[in-house]
Structure 1
């Protein structure tokens, strides 16, 4: 590759400014997030109604819905449709971050974790300071990022609907907040270690379910399970990790969790999906939108050499090794990215029809955009693309 240029692209619902394009319109085709063009973005995350980008130099940008202080900077506006830097974290180098229902988590290169946004269930980890007339803690929203889990050296953060999960450098998993819908289990604001997990190398969290991939290749799950998203062959919730069935003998390299569905990726580019199948978000075809209680191979992606799958609220996007993206699931609001608002369980390629970057020479103008990373949110998707010479 003689020269290259990167861009952040977005498509889908923009009603809360989550596309970052300067307005609140929805986009059925990919568009460039121009406010980030001068930054070297290395990672993006899409939440239910907001977005973030991490730069190579550790800067963190956020945009979208902001009514709970979710963007991490004052003033507390309703929505922001242009990415802006989280100044409270400008003196540290952020390396990874996550978006929950209405809170954010981030970790720096020293393993220090931070949280901000909605905190009524203790999901930001702040100790309760006030109580209502019934004695229930009143937790303030945290508009400015603050340290959380200060005793832990964190490698990865993940956020659910109202709870938080972190993976430490020792391979242990800790959690706090309200892991299930209110009333099912006691909420906690102090991190508690998840028992039964050792040498974990990757975690993924959906709305109310959790996945942990251990170094020995086994995948464990816990939390809500009403659609089989735990992959245990039933719909019984689990408060402790249980082994995901149907993946024996596979070399798993990546996992992802959507609102109510899950995926796992093997080292030879095969995708397995399970959980809620409504709207075709599992990618099993238009004639099979049923929920799956155990992982099943997504045969419609066979041979595509998938290197990443991202799961949103009701849609999914798979990324191939050669930089193509395939979307499937619910199609309204343009979230599938190919100009049609048709819901489908058939994976279809997302065209990256953008002009070449300005800095390419006339010789290189016949190149193409290839995707490097994809992130699905509730009703929108973000991706990092790179210009590659032909």
Structure 2
């Protein structure tokens, strides 16, 4: 059992690499390099919202899982910047070979049934072998365009590359043609404003009732983009290796996916994953409330919740009612912390935060008592995860020894 828990622990620490590894590394025009986790989280959010608006006849949860795992190999292989492929500096074959080696390395970390599902999802995405995978592929590419538009002209290096980036995926997923047309129009505005040639071949027809209010969706996705910039642990100067809220939400969602299967828990896995994706959406407006502020009574839990609720009310106007109601119910369920899914996610949410600190060793620690006990209350409500939590405590204890801090007896009461 301990050996199995160590495998799960190691896999979850591997997911941390998706926060560390950056995209656009070979594109000098991209000044702010987002992480793989940043990109994946926002792509999932876009997939969720767009599918809910269109209600297409396809397996919705499979779409979410496909986007969740599509860049997992980059935890080991790192991102191959599309600019290198576009300029023929790296071949698609070499890129795929490197990724296949990475996926094989991941195989040894997981039980066969969990590995098999992840591998099949990843392969389906790579091969574009289903309508779900073509939807996921196009959404992932549109997220990259959305990222470019967020920063405007700073990110345009090769105009043809940007304007054509979604072309092949668009041909395979015509269901999203009208949604992408909104982005093509935004690109056109940008190109004309900054004297780039806008070719007639770049045009995409725009006439679809479902996205007549495209600008509202566009504004919501740009609000979500702020979670790539929103830093956690902002009031903890001793924690130098901070992460972003989007990265945290992505890694948490992946942890929920794997843990629910690993422990064979009787929870609604799709709902638990959706809760993890949106549980911090308010922080696009409020920014992150570092827990140290509550721990030291600088901010009360009541004041924090009031500000978060106010932020959610501001977001309400950005989406159609049916989508907003759905997202709000996920957020409110997490806040209430009463359902099995919310309890499961809350425990792993706390776990994700401490394991992030641990990834960077004791040099990224600050308050010894707080770090050692931060998850305790949440795991009381999710005792099925205690064997995983004990593994985290075991690794923390080792780091405390290097930190020359006492590991108190009560820290082990799990």
TM-score using structure 1 length: 0.28
Structure number with the higher strand fraction is: 1
Q: Higher Cα Rg: structure 1 or 2?
A: 2
For normalisation by structure 2, the TM-score amounts to 0.27
In proportion to residue count, which structure has more helix?
2
